[in-house]
Structure 1
Amino acid sequence: MRTTTSIVVAFITLFILASLTIPGYNQAFVLFALAIVPAYLFFFLGTRIGIKWNAVVILLLILTTLNAYTAWITPVFTVELLIQTTLAYIALSYFYYMLEKERSRYEEELSVALKNKETLLKEVHHRAKNNLQIIMGLLESQAFRTKGAACKKILISQRYRLQAMSLIHESLSYSASYEKVDMSQYLKGIANNIQKYTHHTIVLDLEPCVLGMSDAMNLGLFLNEAISNASEHAYAKEVKGRIEVSLKYREEQCILRIKDFGRGFDANRSSHSLGLVLMEDISNFFNEGNMMIDFEEGTEIVFSFTQKKNT
């Protein structure tokens, strides 16, 4: 691409210079075109190559001026005008060179600042992930030592929630973007983590969808609660059940669906459970968030919210 640009710019430059010695061209247009040549040279070719090309142009302008003086080839412009044109071109070249040099300096400073920002964000996500993993380890250790089933259940539930938060920091620390999250990979990580601790089969159907960090973390917590509830309450202990998870994007709507084929649950009794209350609270954080629960043939939770495609 750079070679093609160089060839095109060089051809246009030589054509304009040739117009100085060929009768029949609009003289005013030729002088105007010559004035913007150094801008094109520095912008498209950079300062280093631009300096070389401008030196060639200045040399050709000097030769054109000498030709007008000696009249070896019938000149189109007068000697005085060509001298003024050459001096003006040198002044413009210096002006454009300083502009391009300053632009390159600012671009380099912005590049360094962006790189430092990315390094800092990567370190922040890495430290956040490590701190959450330490807390998870403490909860898991305490759950192992706790004899009460109810207390152990609470500790394990909290560990799952922290794991969902930890996964997003891990995803962002290795991502090229430190603000956007690939939800298909993130939700897959959450489901796979729960799969390690349940004998039920979790089936995933996740379409590509990108969310900001805040929405991604909330949706991850929502999924964590939904799968945890399904794996714990949908089936009898001796039954190996199936839990389906899908993420679809339809007409600026993200739709997350969690479906089991178990015995369902008492809506009146379960409406005050911590998991369901947490999911209802999370749904309020989203733009036009809406959660629906269907108890026909098991339990199906459908959560939808508005999400622009490029957001």
Structure 2
Amino acid sequence: MNPSGLEKQFYDFFERNTSVMLLINPEIGKILDANPSAQQFYGFTRNQLIGMPISQLNLLSPEKILEEMKLAVSEKRNYFRFQHRLSNGEIRNVEVHSTPLISNQETLLFSIIHDVTDRTLAEAKVATLLDEKEILLREVHHRIKNNMSMIYSLLELQIDSIKHPSAISALTDAASRVQSMAMLYDKLYLTQDYDQISVSQYLNSLTSEIVSNFPNSEFISLELDIDDADLDVKRLQYLGIIVNEILTNIMKYAFEKHQEGNISISGRILNTDYLMSIKDNGKGMPESIDFENPSGFGLSLIQFLSKRLNAILSIERKNGTEIHIRLPIKIS
């Protein structure tokens, strides 16, 4: 193509650029010029490329190619992904940036072509690996859940075989902790996101299950109003164990035998924190119980996990007991 039809500066840029470049007549879909990089990439001489229908390179139908060129001419789109055929028959995946160019009162398309075949293959490989990872993680979570369920069942069997009250209490508490973790892995098995899981979905199931495990559960009403938030799995596991310990304590000690009672649990997002409240209308937690100076394994576990969560715990003793748990949604 004679440079008199274009500014010489552009023509020099076109000729010397290492990127693959074509000038195309969008009305008839034919190549008007190809720079040396295009000749090298496609494996055709300049004379072979000039006048060649673009459909000889592009695998789309001629009609579809004309539609795409109209979009480029009208500037409705300037980025495209195509498959182009080289002179040796090899198919390459390309990204094409096209923009209209006026020359001698004629609208042409100036197209810059990038070969992205290797990147496309790499992306496909990564997608396959991610699929395989998801399948593996799903299987791992399923097996962990099954193993924890087995441990829970063994603890239940052991509880049935012993008579000592303190041993029964200790094993029951251990079984409850295992159950809370098994439930988390069950949720992970069903979710599509293995990094985060719904707080409300997990805690609604967990709290209902904990309460129902106690013989006095038929006398206790459970009110749940837990807003959703996304916590990473590890932090949600810690929170689940803390809630398990608090609820277990309430069900054991807050109400007299066959006493009707109420437990309300709420969860709210407050700026960058998540605030949980667990309230009962039972006989109240003794003043001797202090999260800062715990006595007993359960309270020590709550204190330990709270520190891991950067959580703040507080107790209100009025018409029963209300425990507040405030933790950052994300660790910075």
Q: TM (normalized to structure 1)?
A: 0.71
Give a deviation string over 1:236-276, Cα, whole Å, max 9, x none.
11202111111111111101111011111322167413322
Corresponding residue number in structure 1 for 2:235? 215
C-alpha deviation, 1:15, in angstroms? 6.4
d(CA) in 1 for partners of 2:65, 2:258 = 73
8 A Cα contact 2:203 2:240, kept in partner: yes
Identity among equivalent pairs (%):
26
Equivalent positions of 1:12-91 (< 5 A) are 12-13=71-72, 40-41=79-80, 43=81, 46-47=82-83, 76=104
Residue of structure 1 equivalent to 2:312:
290
CA contact (8 A) 1:161 1:221 kept: yes
1:266 and 2:286 are equivalent in the alignment: yes
Partner SS state of residue 47, structure 1: strand
Give the partner amino acid of 2:70. Answer: F
Q: In the alignment, does 2:111 pair up with 1:111?
A: no
The reply on whether 1:163 has 2:186 as its aligned counterpart is no
Query: Are 1:254 and 2:264 matched, yes or no?
Result: no
Match of 1:279 in 2: 302
Is the alpha carbon distance of 1:240 and 1:108 closer, same or farther for their aligned partners in structure 2, counting shifts above 3 Å? same
Aligned-pair distance for 1:203? 1.3
> Does structure 1 residue 10 correspond to structure 2 residue 33?
no
Q: Does 1:229 align with 2:249?
A: yes
For residues 297 and 328 of structure 2, the distance between their equivalents in structure 1, rounded to whole angstroms, comes to 25
**Residues in 2 aligned to 1:156 and 1:262: alpha-carbon distance in whole angstroms:** 22
Structure 1 equivalent of residue 137 of structure 2: 121
Q: 1:7 to 1:298 in 2, by over 3 A?
A: farther
Contact 1:47 1:100 in 2 (8 A): no
Residue 240, structure 1, aligned to residue 260, structure 2:
yes
Cα 1:302/1:285, change in 2 over 3 Å: same
Aligned pair in 2 of structure 1 residues 277, 8: CA closer, same or farther (>3 Å)? farther
Q: Alpha carbons of 1:6 and 1:114: their partners in 2 closer, same or farther (altered >3 Å)?
A: farther
SS at match of 1:300: strand
Deviation digits for residues 1-35 of structure 1 (CA, Å, limit 9, x no counterpart): xxxx988743144569xxxxxxxxxxxxxxxxxxx
Residue 246 to residue 48, structure 1, CA distance change in 2 (3 Å): farther
Asked if 1:202 is matched to 2:216, the reply is no
Q: Deviations over 1:65-89 (max 9, x none)?
A: xxxxxxxxxx949xxxxxxx99x97
Match for 1:300: what amino acid?
E
Question: Shift of residue 185 of structure 1?
Answer: 0.6
Q: In the superposition, relative to structure 1, how do residues 242 and 110 fare at CA in structure 2: closer, same or farther (>3 Å)?
A: same
Gapped regions of structure 1 (runs ≥ 5) = 17-35, 55-74, 78-84
CA distance in 2, matches of 1:6, 1:212: 47
Q: 1:7 to 1:308 in 2, by over 3 A?
A: farther
Aligned partners of 1:292 and 1:303 also within 8 Å: yes
* Aligned CA distance change for structure 1 residues 6 and 110 (closer, same or farther; 3 Å): farther
- Given that 1:234 and 1:262 are in contact with CA atoms closer than 8 Å, whether structure 2 keeps it comes out as yes
**1:183-194 map, 5 Å:** 183-194=199-210
C-alpha distance in 1 between matches for 2:297 and 2:195: 30
Query: Which structure dedicates a bigger proportion of its chain to strand?
Result: 2
SS in 1 for 2:170: helix
Shift of 1:113: 0.8
* Preserved contact between residue 291 and residue 301 of structure 1 (Cα < 8 Å): yes
Q: 1:149 aligns with which of 155, 159, 165?
A: 165
